[in-house]
Structure 1
Amino acid sequence: MFSKLKVPDLKLKGRAASTATPITSQIIPQPGLSEFQVSGASNPNIDIVFVHGLNGSSAETWKHHDTGFWWPEQLGNDLPDAHILLFNYDTFFDPTLRGTNLIRIPDIARNLCYQLSENRFENGAKRRPLVMIGHSLGGLIIKKALIECNEDLTPEPEDILWSTISILLFGTPNAGSFASDQKRVQIVKWIGESVGYQVPPRIFEALRAHSLELYELSASFQRLKIWNTPMDANPSMLTFYETVTQDKLGIQVVDETSAKVGVRGEKARGVQANHTQMVRFYNENDPTYKSLETKSALVQPMQLLHFHLLRHIQQ
């Protein structure tokens, strides 16, 4: 069952209890997949999934704190036939309590894969075109989820893989953070102190530059059959990297080299913001948001979906 996520001034449609705790910077929302109800949308023809990063949430990661602009909502207004989904997960643990959060990237990715598969099955949309949008660690989770969908022997998860038309990753450390060990410790400490929690040790180790887990994740993702297609075929791959250093740390958390995935047809773009602010657009006129809202970034790839499905059926 999907959790209901209540966000101040926003309408999110869930499947659990009728009430939920409002999200604040000190509250970790309940993990799971939530649906944003787009006003007037009745027959969606595309799914768009948002996956936040460390120290993030479905509500706060994508919202500009000064203007309140929450671009999943704006995207739903600009693309009224879109079905907006937000995936939330918990990567924190309180060291004052007993036990340790041993959550790993594969654990979170499997939850995303199966919850998304269930949602699409219940909505009769197993092969509806799909766009995946991730920030930081969220991008790694998306990559691992697609790998899990490819390896699953049941048809529904595999349909997710072959229905994916676009993947957009913001500041995702595909090769790990290339900061020195000392700086990397500062980054993780800063993330933890900002909410009073610590990052689970297995997530921490996975984010090391050149870590074996990231290497195997990248290699498996690059070997997916969806990339054995012409340069202009689905899925399109857009990667974004920050061009402003992180406050107080004075470094790029994820530089251009680490942000790149290394698959055919990949397009990399710089965003004039730091790692945290790069997905918090000021308003609908933000140049990065405007580039996403264009037909070429999200909707045009739907024209090539039939090619993907036909190729899948013939295999």
Structure 2
Amino acid sequence: MASRKSLVLETIYDPGPRGITATVDLVLIHGLNGDYLKTWTHTTTNVCWPKDLLPIVFPHIRVLSLAYDADIYGNTSVTGIRENAQTLLARLRDVRELRHHGRSIVFVAHSLGGIILKQALSIARSDRRYQHLFSATRGFLLYAIPHFGADQSSWLSMAKSFAPVTRRRFSWKGRHSELVDSLTRNSPDIANLCEDFRFLARRFAIVSFYENRMWPGTRAPIVDKTSALLFLEHEEPVPLDADHMNLCRFEDAEDQGFQTTCWYISRVAQGFGHGLDERVLVQIAGGNGVIELEQY
């Protein structure tokens, strides 16, 4: 496994060694102060749903997760949103062999990860090296993406609660990562990217989850509904009863958030709302929380 600071695309689950042909690549992109595994891991049960639960429901989906340095404080990386986006594209191109160029791609992003995703798709559309990735993308599930930014004080308050006591005491007044500045409300960079992306987004299936709970110590959600939605006709807005860090973490297979996520993964993989087959039967098996999907 990669270290938390590495710029790599880590394979979380690969159907190949199990004799199963992968039909979809699911690509995870964590957010600010996140981690390629911990962002998706429940803090009580330690269930990492892309690794522990998703392969049971969708054994034919290969799961990949981008690891990059997204620390708010103590971050010495000079890599910005565009550089991280280019790295994502390069790594994804490398893991998709020539014979798999047509395999569908579904992205799952949290917070800053969605901004990196939007930048990556904007690059892929015009860069010949990555146009096959753009063409293979069916859509994405977006968890609390600050399309229009968020208050800087909220980001810093959230980061402070994760910092070790010694780090709070000695280094908390140090300069924060430039990534925070990029996510501040009314940031020109984020506004321009959002405007450009709205044009591209028409070809993709989009599900936007937004938080309904405040982060402790704040007076409002970190990313409120008005910033978490793109307000596109075909976008599906989904509220989740969780705060910014926990709306993409699920306790077990019976967690309603996980079941909702699986439902939308199945639909996005087919490009719902864009002329592809939408007839998906979803049955939740009684008692075990496993979702069975039948496409016909």
Give the 5 Å matches for 1:123-162.
124-154=99-129, 157-162=130-135
The 1:168–1:199 alpha-carbon spacing in structure 2 relative to 1, beyond 3 Å, is farther
Q: Within the alignment, does 1:89 sit opposite 2:68 as a pair?
A: yes
Question: Quick one: distance in 2 between partners of 1:275 and 1:194?
Answer: 22
Deviation string, structure 1 residues 117-175 (Cα, Å, up to 9, x no partner) = 1211x262112111000011111111111111112133xx1111111112111011010
Contact 1:163 1:305 in 2 (8 A): no
2:40 aligned to which of 57, 62, 76:
62
1:278 aligned to which of 247, 251, 270:
247
Aligned to 2:139: 166
Structure with the higher fraction of residues in strand conformation? 2
Q: Within the alignment, does 1:79 sit opposite 2:48 as a pair?
A: no
Question: Quick one: distance in 1 between partners of 2:54 and 2:100?
Answer: 20
Aligned to 2:157: 186
The 1:175–1:193 alpha-carbon spacing in structure 2 relative to 1, beyond 3 Å, is farther
| Identity value in percent | 24
Question: Quick one: distance in 1 between partners of 2:79 and 2:186?
Answer: 20
The AA in structure 1 aligned to 2:114 is: G
The 1:299–1:103 alpha-carbon spacing in structure 2 relative to 1, beyond 3 Å, is closer
Q: Which moved more, 1:186-195 or 1:200-209?
A: 186-195
Contact 1:222 1:262 in 2 (8 A): no
Question: Quick one: distance in 1 between partners of 2:73 and 2:180?
Answer: 15
Deviation at 1:250, TM superposition (A): 3.9
Q: Within the alignment, does 1:262 sit opposite 2:231 as a pair?
A: yes
Question: Quick one: distance in 1 between partners of 2:165 and 2:49?
Answer: 23
Q: How many residue pairs align between the two structures?
A: 268
TM, length-normalised to structure 2: 0.81
* SS state at 2:237 partner: strand
* SS state at 1:61 partner: helix
Q: Within the alignment, does 1:220 sit opposite 2:196 as a pair?
A: yes
Question: Quick one: distance in 1 between partners of 2:275 and 2:79?
Answer: 34
Question: Quick one: distance in 2 between partners of 1:251 and 1:168?
Answer: 23
The 1:61–1:50 alpha-carbon spacing in structure 2 relative to 1, beyond 3 Å, is same
The 1:219–1:94 alpha-carbon spacing in structure 2 relative to 1, beyond 3 Å, is closer
Q: Within the alignment, does 1:210 sit opposite 2:186 as a pair?
A: yes
TM, length-normalised to structure 1: 0.76
Question: Quick one: distance in 2 between partners of 1:187 and 1:128?
Answer: 37
Aligned-CA RMSD value: 2.8
The 1:205–1:29 alpha-carbon spacing in structure 2 relative to 1, beyond 3 Å, is closer
Structure 1 residue runs of 5 or longer lacking an equivalent are: 6-20, 22-27, 230-234, 308-315
The 1:305–1:118 alpha-carbon spacing in structure 2 relative to 1, beyond 3 Å, is farther
Question: Quick one: distance in 2 between partners of 1:139 and 1:272?
Answer: 20
Aligned to 2:79: 103
The 1:294–1:91 alpha-carbon spacing in structure 2 relative to 1, beyond 3 Å, is closer
Structure 2 residue runs of 5 or longer lacking an equivalent are: 278-296
Contact 1:46 1:128 in 2 (8 A): yes
Question: Quick one: distance in 2 between partners of 1:241 and 1:137?
Answer: 14
The 1:243–1:115 alpha-carbon spacing in structure 2 relative to 1, beyond 3 Å, is same
Question: Quick one: distance in 2 between partners of 1:66 and 1:167?
Answer: 27
1:246 aligned to which of 205, 215, 240:
215
Contact 2:209 2:239 in 1 (8 A): yes
The AA in structure 1 aligned to 2:55 is: G
